[in-house]
Amino acid sequence: MGSRSLDSGKATVSGREYSKCVILPANENMVPEALEKRKQNWTVRTRVANDLIIQVGDSSFQLHKLAMVSKSEYLNRLVFQKRSNGAKDTLPKIQIESFPGGSEIFELVVKFCYGMKVDLTASNIAPVHCAAHFLEMSDDLEQGNLISKTEAFLSFVLFSAWKDIFRVLKSCEPISLWAMKLQILQRCSDAIAWKASIDPKLFTLSENDAISLNVLANDAENLKHKGIAENWWFEDVSCLRIDHFVEVIKSIKKKGVLRSKLVGSCVAYWTEKWISGPENLPKHLTHHLLRVTTESLIRILPEEENSISANFLLHLLKLGIMMRISCELLNEVGKKIALKLENCRVSDLLVKNYDNDATVYDVGTVTRVVEAYVSSMLKNPTPKLLVVGQLVDGYLALVSRDDKLSVEQFRPLAEALPNDARYCHDTLYTAIDTYLKAHPRLTEEERTSLCTAMDYHKLSQEGLKHATRNGRLPVNITARLILLEQVNMARSMTSTGSNYQRTKTQAIIKVNKCLGNEWMTSWNEIKMMRKEVDSMKMQLNELQICKMQIQRRAKRCLILKRIFGSMSIL
């Protein structure tokens, strides 16, 4: 109990604290007397003189041909070539470039070739397995060679302890190309995908005991998650670097056991841990790597509806814009968010900026999404357009308090939706009024430009009443609102049953209606109304003339002030 034989006594697997394999010598013909290391030089001492030098990186190994070539087809070829091309009295030297795992792993290979005890763990099994394949140490040369032994132990590790799988993946980081070629990454990803869908209690037992694969698989089929959070595996998976994380998510999606919403939450969890904000980015993440990371995250997003939150997608879109990823991927994310707008709340649209000179929230990204929504809506009209209109107006009302929000940022979002997106413009008016209150130094032109997004005909009676008395609105807009209020009052007064009397003209109309004078026809009523409207227009023109005169006087005063100021300096 606690260990199992891998090859008739030549290797054992122990499962105490973590998976471990001890390879024992198969014979004692080449057992060294000593293995000496001086700085970067290794020397194997036996009764026979060394006749081979192998250089791995900065380390040099003085070895014996018989011990090495008898187990490595790769070294066998190189030694044969050296003997054919070089002088027979010189000691052949072989330079190995890009050896998987470097000199540390080659040391383990040397120990194996000489029949010394080799300790394999979850942290070194992947590079040793890759090294065995690099050196072509197959059973064709000798039964029970290093490839078969590492393969047996690797399979055991992937089957056994959960944590050991991540140790294997961590050790694959320096040897990613080899690990991918030998499908170690794929096997680890599949193992994680399988175990993430079952009760962790079933496979944590494997740290102390080897459980039958068939029994565990059968138990997993009928497993019910009782008292165990479905996201128990998030933290371990989030420790993986992006390329390994992507492989794991692909395997999970391919397996299809976990809910897509859970997969989406895992992607969001990894992103939040590694990329919580530009000021918190890890220093080792270069711009290129961060761009590749962002693109990779977008590509593995679940396709299912409601599998990922709109707020996370907005953060991802913002990151993509910052990293200048491909337009195709940016549009893909934008469309995903646009499909969610009808079910969003204002809080879902809040994405913070991290530049001290920028606005608190990123309004530009939200504007981009709303424009994408409008574009898609033109092709497929939706009855929930009014819902999106309320959402945008609520968002504008919230961000309008930001004193760093410019008119050029506010106006495009306010005008992004079509006219029929708002039944009433009261909320939009509130947002504009809040903006004007937070930005008291706006010019008259800027105030007018801001108000063009509002249709004052769609203001409620209360909203119109407030707007006509609002001193923050530009003069020309206020005049129009007053005129509209006059017209509305006139209509109200002439309506059947109305007792409202505001002007002399309206009073005459009402009195005559009450007296039943038939000579007051509809045409005469309209004529009087037109006269009153003309009178209002004349008043508006007078206001405009007065405004222009005041502006001319102000300019003259400013010029005189500058002239006298310069004279005083002279």
Predicted confidence band of residue 41 (pLDDT cuts 50, 70, 90) = confident
Q: What is the largest CA-CA distance in the chain?
A: 137
Rounded mean pLDDT, 455-480: 85
Of 194-198, 240-244, 404-408, the poorest mean pLDDT is in 194-198
The answer to whether residue 66 is domain-embedded is yes
CATH number, domain with residue 95: 3.30.710.10
Q: Is residue 101 part of a domain?
A: yes
* Average pLDDT of span 158-173: 93
Last residue of a domain, one of 494, 519, 547: 494
**Predicted confidence band at 487 (pLDDT cuts at 50, 70, 90)?**
confident
Whether 165 maps to a domain, the answer reads no
pTM of the model: 0.75
Q: For residues 379-393, give the mean pLDDT.
A: 86
Task: Tell me how far apart the alpha carbons of residues 2 and 527 are, in angstroms, rounded to a whole number.
Answer: 105
**pLDDT of residue 152 exceeding 80:** yes
Q: Percentage of the chain surpassing pLDDT 90?
A: 49
Identity of the residue numbered 419: N
| Residue 35, strand partner residues | 44
Q: Is the pLDDT assigned to residue 326 strictly greater than 90? A: yes
Last residue of a domain, one of 143, 176, 194: 143
Beta bridge partners, 352, equal: 361
**How far is it, in rounded angstroms, from Cα 434 to Cα 513?**
44
Is residue 393 one of the residues assigned to a domain? yes
* pLDDT for 401 beyond 50: yes
Residue 189 placed within a domain = no
Which residue, 20, 105, 11, 89, is CA-closest to 54?
105
Instruction: Please give the Cα distance from 482 to 469 (Å, whole number).
Output: 9
Q: How far is CA 165 from CA 194, 266, 278, 375, 543, in A?
A: 12, 18, 31, 46, 80
Bridge partners of residue 63, in order along the sequence = 52
pLDDT: which is higher, 438 or 562 = 438
Query: Given this model, what pLDDT does residue 35 score?
Result: 73
Give me the pLDDT at residue 411, please. 94
Question: What pLDDT score does 51 carry?
Answer: 85
> Residue 25's Cα: distance from chain center in Å?
51
The boundaries of the domain holding residue 442 are 340-494
| Residue 77: inside a domain | yes
pLDDT band at 384 (very low <50, low <70, confident <90, very high): confident
Q: Which of 459, 494, 529 is the last residue before a domain boundary?
A: 494
Instruction: List CB contacts of 393: < 8 A, sequence separation 6 or more.
Output: 422, 427, 428, 430, 431
Q: How far apart are alpha carbons 197 and 194 in whole angstroms?
A: 6
Q: Is 360 exposed, middle or buried (0-12, 13-18, 19+ CB in 10 A)?
A: middle
**What pLDDT is recorded for position 96?**
93
319-342: b (≥16 Cβ within 10 Å) or e? bbbebebeeebbeebbebbbbbbb
Whole-number pLDDT of residue 413: 95
Q: How confident is the model at residue 453 (pLDDT cuts 50, 70, 90)?
A: confident
Number of domains the chain is built from: 2
Mean pLDDT, residues 306-318 taken together? 94
Task: Tell whether 365 is covered by a domain.
Answer: yes
Residue 414 lies in a domain: yes
